[in-house]
Amino acid sequence: MTIIVHHLNNSRSQRILWLLEELGEPYEVRRYERDAKTMRAPASLRAVHPLGRSPVVEVDGHRLIETGAIMDYLVARSGHRFGAPAEADNAIRYRQYMHYAEGSMMPPLLALLVVGKLGLLGRPARPTVQKMLDDHLDWLETELASRPYFAGDAFTAADMMMSFPLEASRARGGLDDSRPHLIRWLKEMHDRPAYQAALAAGGPYAYA
């Protein structure tokens, strides 16, 4: 059965397309476009799942939500390709980053987005929120100073999970060439053939 990905433009679901390309799994993309003014997902996504958010993946008779949970399922389904490394410390790093990407790093990025939309009213809060994000970026820069990938010497699903918050940081969170290890890593991710194939499958993506 072909995997169906309910894919919203410029969203977390791009990572699911990337993983499926890396795995070589056949899949079908059902695209949804954000409202040009509000940037919210269309109401048609609520017909797929009551929360009306992406990604939603239909696979093996299941309808799955949450990027990390979907990735865990697809990695396990593939025989743990791109999963946790065998070495104990790197396995811990893998699990940490699979959760950190959404649990710790996305909240200040979302706060920055909200602050930006508030205009003058949000301006006093921006330095505080930016400092929160800078703390994350500074730490991640030191992490990649000692190894090529987030979970060690091998590319894993943890790198795919980390792509969206770091792409968003590059676009609107102050990530620039002053953090060369993060920039190097991001370029390597974008240069992967499977990443490029996922872009072609998913359509225009603002963060590539």
Domains annotated for the chain, with CATH where assigned, are 3-82+194-202 (3.40.30.10), 88-192 (1.20.1050.10)
Looking at residue 37, its pLDDT comes to: 84
Query: Which residues 6+ apart lie within 8 Å of 42 measured at CB?
Result: 32, 33, 34, 35
Binned at pLDDT 50, 70 and 90, residue 207 comes out as very high
**HEC letters along 112-143:** HHHHHHCHHHHHHHHHHHHHHHHHHHHHHHHH
Looking at residue 36, its pLDDT comes to: 84
Write the pLDDT tens digit of every residue in 70-96.
Answer: 999 999 999 999 999 999 999 999 999
Binned at pLDDT 50, 70 and 90, residue 1 comes out as confident
Write the pLDDT tens digit of every residue in 32-71.
Answer: 999 888 888 999 999 999 999 999 999 999 999 999 999 9
Looking at residue 188, its pLDDT comes to: 98
Name the average pLDDT for the chain: 96
Residue 106, pLDDT > 80, answer yes
Write the pLDDT tens digit of every residue in 135-171.
Answer: 999 999 999 999 999 999 999 999 999 999 999 999 9
Residue 25, pLDDT > 80, answer yes
Residue 177, pLDDT > 90, answer yes
Query: Which residues 6+ apart lie within 8 Å of 80 measured at CB?
Result: none
* pTM recorded for the entire structure: 0.95
Write the pLDDT tens digit of every residue in 110-128.
Answer: 999 999 989 999 999 999 9
Looking at residue 35, its pLDDT comes to: 87
Give the percent of the chain with pLDDT over 90: 93
